[in-house]
Structure 1
Amino acid sequence: MKLHITDENLENLQRPNSGTLQVIDNDKSFFQVNVGKYKTTFYMVTSRRSRNFRENLGHWPDISAEQARDEAIALHGMIRAGKTPRRKTAGAKTLREAFDRSIALREMDNLITPDTANQYRMTFDRHLTKLGTYSLDEIHEDDIYDLKMRLKDSPYVFKFIRAMLSQVYRMNSLPSPFISVTVMRTTKRDTKIMDHHEWAKQVFALQNPVLRNFKLLSALTGVRAGNMQTVKREHVDLDEQTLFLPKTKTNKNVTLPLSAVACDLFDELIQYSEARNKSWVFFSRKDKPLRYATKTGHDESAV
């Protein structure tokens, strides 16, 4: 029913014996009140960009009709201006608090490595500082859409954040606002696929034995470039024909068998390293692990 919502009219309104009676204000249709048998509640109801808003303004007579009307007008103005109303629930957990707890628990259970946890925290600090101050139930699809637009030139970063925070919402048994916002498609760059003959020709043409054998041994063993860079002389056992990797991507120690060809290549590198008093098998100018750019295949630090 429609009625000019005032304290006087609410006092004279007959309460229903069961269910609720919805009253819409004559002047401001977004200002509404639900009258039940024992409770009367004010609401602000509107929509924007195909999204419905229904904000609880409080109960009458704890809050007067005039106060509820003023708050409804203010909230409605915010929504029409494209802003999302922030009505924080008392004691609600902020996104930052929930995120920190999620990372701490996953680290404790060895589900992620410390390096991965630090990467998550750095990403949060860089892109989610403002959202981190809001409680989990305050964040809406509009906020995620705005974040998506800010990161439109970095779709992989948005995809990473979306997966990272969806996990936070799952751990708190809340629906994630990230799910309804799709990840932007990226255009694939034209890449030249090199056949093995051309690859071998380029590798064997390299004058630097460190970089040449690095590429050959990576291909022979299947070891990731990041692990191969940090191999030391004591990690290679030529008698047993094994390679020890102290820390892999899964944070585990691995011992791999080596073929005769791989042993010959490692033997050449170890002698080359010992002659220059280096501790690393694949070393750079300052006796540090080889800095190898895996995307370009080019390295300027090898000696």
Structure 2
Amino acid sequence: MTDIRISLTDKTIAQLPAPKDGWYLARDTELKGFFVVIGKRKRTFAVQGDLRRGGKRASSIRVSVGGVTEISTRAARAIAKEYLALISQGRHPKDEKQTDAPSGNPNNGSDGLKASITLRQAWQRYLEAHLIRKGRSEHTISGYRDHVERIFAEWLDTSLHELGMDPARVARKHDDITKGNGPYMANGSMRTLRAVYNHARKTNKSLPRDNPADAVDWNEEERRDTGMGSADLKRWFLELAALDNPVRREFHLLTLLCGSRPTALQQIQPDHIDFRRRTLHIPKPKGGKKKAFDIPLSREMILCLIRAIRFGKQFYPLQGLEWVFPADSDSGHLSETKEDREILSKWGNDLRQTFRTIATAAGVSEIDAKLLMNHAIPGVNAGYITRHKLLEDHLRSQQQSISSAVFVALGPSIAEIQALHDWLGRGATRRAILNVQVKPANCDPEHVTIRQAA
């Protein structure tokens, strides 16, 4: 077959007929010198250009970019641009000895940036200049660190230029992570790599323009539908009442009643609570300090916090002075809030989804629910909503509607079921503290006796 000229895309290449014998070229109408070699069983991206020496044409060379099944057309075109640029400078793209650009190239310094900018160095700058400087939470930073330092550990001393010139390698890594760690981890780690690469390229223009993570065939992600409806709450409350640790019990209840992220609630302190204004201040939510906000408290939420503080000081006297949800951990507060699903079926983000579900059933508008959860509100009019002006009255009444809907779903169970009555009934907290039989190892027995007598 004779050569053809078309706009190369994944779709148009797939539709090209295979030759009966030999091969033919499908040249790109967008980038001169870029084409696909169409054979009977194989299709390969390639470039062709004139290699010049001293301003004169020395030879015409053809260089393979990669197989169609290994790399997308978009990524192949990006590599082709780099190859053609090198060819025009008199350099062979596959000559591994030529790692630095010719002297006088404005895009490359004398220190050989292409060879020296490693993933480790780029990550360190991204950590310091972007994440820490912008006040990202420790939880967010630890997630990025896990991706770079664990998932991409073998690439830490690999140059970004090498990865940028070989997106097929990045695509294969995504496939490997998908098989070994799951689709969500694979997508998340590649988003981190993409962010670090884009940040590095701001100060290193010698890196290929196209991000190698763009070559990834992203795994499909579905929103987890694990929230509860009103009919599910009674069984869940019975599971929660059976938890041995009362501090963890109150933590999960508060997560349900306010719909906030668990990582934000883990670090709340007594002075974050204003019982007079009936608010809970969240100083470092997702997004950092600039996203700090106040949660209006319903009656049920206030009682939950009071129980948490009392139980915390009883079981963890030292840590309880600083944290609302103390624990015997390095930080002094709850750091791991996962539970065995056989014991507590719903926790964490399951409860955030439940909050949103119950809010809808309680007649709370979508905007009010988003404001209570500190979510961004889409649309032009969002900028005209002043959240703190709604906090004292309107949002608190909406919060109360949600909490009331949660406890209405229990019906008469609190009075009729002993486990719920011992937890949520009148005077239950004081009785539980007075009836403590086993004192925690880090408690001073004399200190506990005084509190029991009080």
Task: Bin the TM-score by the shorter chain.
Answer: 0.5 to 0.7
* 1:210 matches 2:247: yes
Q: Aligned residues: percent identity? A: 20
Partner of 2:338: 293
Amino acid at match of 2:217: T
Do structure 1's residue 199 and structure 2's residue 233 form an aligned pair?
yes
Give the number of equivalent residue pairs.
251
TM-score of the superposed pair, with normalisation by structure 2: 0.45
Partner of 1:161: 189
Q: Does 1:89 align with 2:100?
A: yes
Q: Is structure 2 residue 256 aligned with structure 1 residue 219?
A: yes
Report the secondary structure of 2:171's partner residue: helix
Q: Which has the larger radius of gyration?
A: 1
CA distance in 1, matches of 2:261, 2:226: 21
Distance 1:266 1:87, change over 3 A: same
Q: Aligned to 1:148, which of 163, 171, 174?
A: 174
Tell me which of 123, 130, 152 is aligned to 1:128: 152
Residue aligning to 1:184: 219
Residue 412 of structure 2 corresponds to none
Q: Distance in 2 between matches of 1:273 and 1:198?
A: 28
Q: Is the aligned partner of 1:40 residue 2:75?
A: no
Q: Which has the higher contact order (CA 8 A, sep 6+)?
A: 2
Match of 1:65 in 2: none
Question: Quick check: 2:178–2:185 contact (8 Å CA) kept in 1?
Answer: no
Residue 260 (structure 1) shift: 2.0
Quick one: which amino acid aligns to residue 196 of structure 1?
S
- SS at 2:281's partner residue? strand
1:49 paired residue number: 67
Aligned residue number for residue 378 of structure 2: none
Compared with structure 1, are the counterparts of its residues 89 and 131 closer, same or farther at alpha carbon in structure 2 (3 Å cutoff)? Answer: farther
Whether contact under 8 Å (2:266, 2:325) holds in the other structure is yes
Q: Can you list the C-alpha shifts for 1:74-132, whole angstroms capped at 9, x where unaligned?
A: x59xxxxxxxx685234134242344333332136516445534543442232334544
CA RMSD of the aligned region, Å? 4.2
Q: Tell me which amino acid in the other structure corresponds to 2:295.
A: L
- Closer, same or farther: CA 46–99 of 1 in aligned 2, 3 Å: same
Equivalent position SS for 1:293:
coil
1:295 deviates by: 8.5
Residue 268 of structure 1 aligns with which residue?
307
Shift of 1:186: 6.2
Q: Which moved more, 1:103-112 or 1:174-183?
A: 103-112
Following superposition, the deviation at residue 32 of structure 1 comes to: 8.3
Alignment partner of 1:179: what SS?
Answer: helix
Q: Which runs of 5+ in 2 are unaligned?
A: 1-46, 69-75, 102-111, 348-439, 441-454
What SS does the corresponding residue of 2:301 show, helix, strand or coil? helix
Q: In 2, distance between residues paired with 1:272 and 1:248?
A: 25
Deviations 1:239-272 (A, max 9, x none): 3322233432222243322122222232333333
